Structure 1
Amino acid sequence: MNKIILILSGLFFLLSYCSFKPSGEYVITISGSDTMYELNESLAKEFMIDNPGISVYVKGGGTKLGIIDLIKNRTDICASSRNLKPEESKLLVEYYGSLALVYLIAKDGLSIYVNPNNIINDLSVEQIKKIFTGRIRNWKEFGGKDTLIVPVLRNPNSGTYLYFKEHVLDDEQYTKNGLTLPTTKEIIKFISENVNAIGYGGVGYKEGIVQIRVEGIYPTEENIRNDSYPITRYLHFFVSKNPSGNVKKFIDWTLSPKGQSVIRKAGFIPLWDYAL
């Protein structure tokens, strides 16, 4: 009975984590990447079942906000879908006297989402760039219908927004004709309801949309693991100091076969091909 109460208590904390940092020896806080939000919820839930009495709070809001939380000591772990910027590293050094430690926890294919009724199922990186910079605005340019393309963008606090801008757009500006939505789930919902929309995000999100081929290659686990899919990245945990106690226990568990199996079930790519 006590075990059930503790697990339910942990799940309540998971869902109710707000802007403050809960404290206590048996509390772990994770803040940051929206791409990783549902993944972190899954990791937290399974970890709390395996470790009753330890509560894990999960907050999204984007990689940028997670890094700010880490710099201001409002979180134990920053979940990030990109590397630190030089100015962020500088702030961490100034605050803590050392650089953040980084743990790679999974791989992700940055997928291109379209509506299931869109006949376009393959684009090159250059074509994607032209869509999201506004150079191409009609689906007929790719053999589709004579209708305007509706690019859907992540918010600027998102690590995915910045990664896409740097690695796909070559640091050019996003189109001013795009629609910005705050979360991946909202992007998925919009695209599923709008046949002319196109967006981007983590490979773990599949319901209601189609993840198309890029340069003729689908974002499958094998293609992402061997880097043949063109837009592949790592997902990170950042910590401000050498982890100890329950924070270390959680990170070690995430990198264990059990944690990596949760990552696979969440639709992302484990670092190692565990036989589970």
Structure 2
Amino acid sequence: MKKLVLLPHIFGLLAVLGSCNNPQPQENQTIVGGKLQVLVDETLLPVMEEQVAVFEHLYKQADVELSVAQENQIVTKLVNNEVEVAVLTRQLNAEEMTFFEARQFRPRVYRFAEDALALVVNKNSADSVITVDDIIRVMQGKEPVGQVDRLVFDNPNSSTVRYLKDLAGVDSLPATGVYALKSNSEVLKYVYETPRTVGVLGLSWVVRPDSALRRYTDGVKVLGVRSQAGKPGADGYYKPSQSNLAEGIYPLSRSVYIINAEPRKGLGMGFAAFLTGLSGQRIILKSGLMPDSLPPRELIIRK
């Protein structure tokens, strides 16, 4: 995996070089200025909103517009050259990369965080744990185990659905036991109002909710998950905490990538540098996700 390390104090110099080499100067874009549209997986929206707010505060000439879409929509727009920068919870596969190779170009891909699927239930539910085998049974259309009647997703085309379909080895959702709504916020509300339901969310929706969703996050609880036999996390039930993500024992973790398909040095490069750099990694740490590289801590010892 490629790493991008760019210190803030050299941004200015690179911006000048980038503007000189930009084949499309009419766009008036550098790595720290101009306009940029970023398509982001809806499960990652809360943490990405924080990243953009800080980035634009530091670089006043930068205007980053976040557009939310489902995973398959994002990939389609990338390969069709409708958007150049995206944030996803997977890399492009070999078939998708052929679209770029036909243009003799390979997108730059940078991992900047470790996310997780959080499984939530109504706070009054008797259940507090679940196993990966239980989840697979539901995804395969088999009888649910315990007091859980159904799994509820944010969208049938979301990254959370794709993740659990891959885990269960199925190509489509079963006719019963699985429901899809329209967003992560709707999943929170549904679980808050509906017992015996497990909601499947991106972790940042649980740990960094906005004020409008606070009452719903206060009314749900996160389940501990036990992995399958022989895999890390099979010796107990683990919640999606930063320490468990760092140790690799939470079973439903996933990497987060920024994919930059800009054919030139532009604001996408600067934003990727920010995400993988010190400031962006601190925001990831604060958000409850696991940063790709832990920011250093300085201790001042006074006599």
Alignment check: 8 A CA contact 1:223 1:229 kept: yes
Unaligned runs of 5+ in 2: 1-26, 207-216, 227-236, 298-303
For the pair shown, which has the larger CA radius of gyration, 1 or 2?
A: 2
CA RMSD of the aligned region, Å?
A: 2.0
Alignment check: 8 A CA contact 1:115 1:197 kept: yes
Return the alpha-carbon distance in structure 2 between the equivalents of residues 238 and 157 of structure 1: 19
Written as runs of structure 1 = structure 2, the 5 A alignment for 1:20-39 is 25=29, 26-39=34-47
Please state if 1:227 is matched with 2:229.
Answer: no
2:199 counterpart letter in structure 1:
G
Please state if 1:192 is matched with 2:192.
Answer: yes
Aligned to 1:12: none
Cα displacement (A) at 1:78: 1.1
Please state if 1:113 is matched with 2:113.
Answer: no
1:213 counterpart letter in structure 2:
G
Alignment check: 8 A CA contact 2:37 2:83 kept: yes
Aligned to 2:277: 256
Alignment check: 8 A CA contact 1:61 1:157 kept: no
Alpha carbons of structure 1 residues 117 and 24: separation in structure 2 relative to 1, 3 Å: farther
Return the alpha-carbon distance in structure 2 between the equivalents of residues 194 and 24 of structure 1: 51
Please state if 1:273 is matched with 2:294.
Answer: yes
SS state at 2:203 partner:
coil
TM-score (norm. length: structure 2):
0.75
Which is further off, 40-49 or 73-82? 73-82
Return the alpha-carbon distance in structure 1 between the equivalents of residues 129 and 88 of structure 2: 28
Alpha carbons of structure 1 residues 203 and 271: separation in structure 2 relative to 1, 3 Å: same
The superposition leaves residues 7-57 of structure 1 with CA deviations (integer Å, 9 ceiling, x where unpaired) of xxxxxxxxxxxxxxxx65201111031112222211111100011121000
Please state if 1:88 is matched with 2:96.
Answer: yes
Aligned to 2:223: 212
Identity of aligned residues (%): 20
The superposition leaves residues 207-247 of structure 1 with CA deviations (integer Å, 9 ceiling, x where unpaired) of 24222111111111011112111121101111225662322
Instruction: Identify the match of residue 80 of structure 2 among 61, 69, 72.
Output: 72
Return the alpha-carbon distance in structure 1 between the equivalents of residues 127 and 286 of structure 2: 28
TM-score (norm. length: structure 1):
0.81
Return the alpha-carbon distance in structure 1 between the equivalents of residues 40 and 71 of structure 2: 4
SS state at 1:219 partner:
coil
Aligned to 1:240: 261
Aligned to 1:40: 48
Unaligned runs of 5+ in 1: 1-22
Which is further off, 265-274 or 100-109? 265-274
SS state at 2:37 partner:
strand
Instruction: Identify the match of residue 136 of structure 1 among 111, 132, 143.
Output: 143
Alignment check: 8 A CA contact 1:32 1:67 kept: no
SS state at 1:244 partner:
coil
Return the alpha-carbon distance in structure 1 between the equivalents of residues 185 and 94 of structure 2: 30
Alignment check: 8 A CA contact 1:115 1:192 kept: yes
Alignment check: 8 A CA contact 1:153 1:181 kept: yes
Cα displacement (A) at 1:58: 0.3
1:120 counterpart letter in structure 2:
D
1:127 counterpart letter in structure 2:
D
The superposition leaves residues 49-102 of structure 1 with CA deviations (integer Å, 9 ceiling, x where unpaired) of 0111210000111122222222233323111112323332222323x3233221
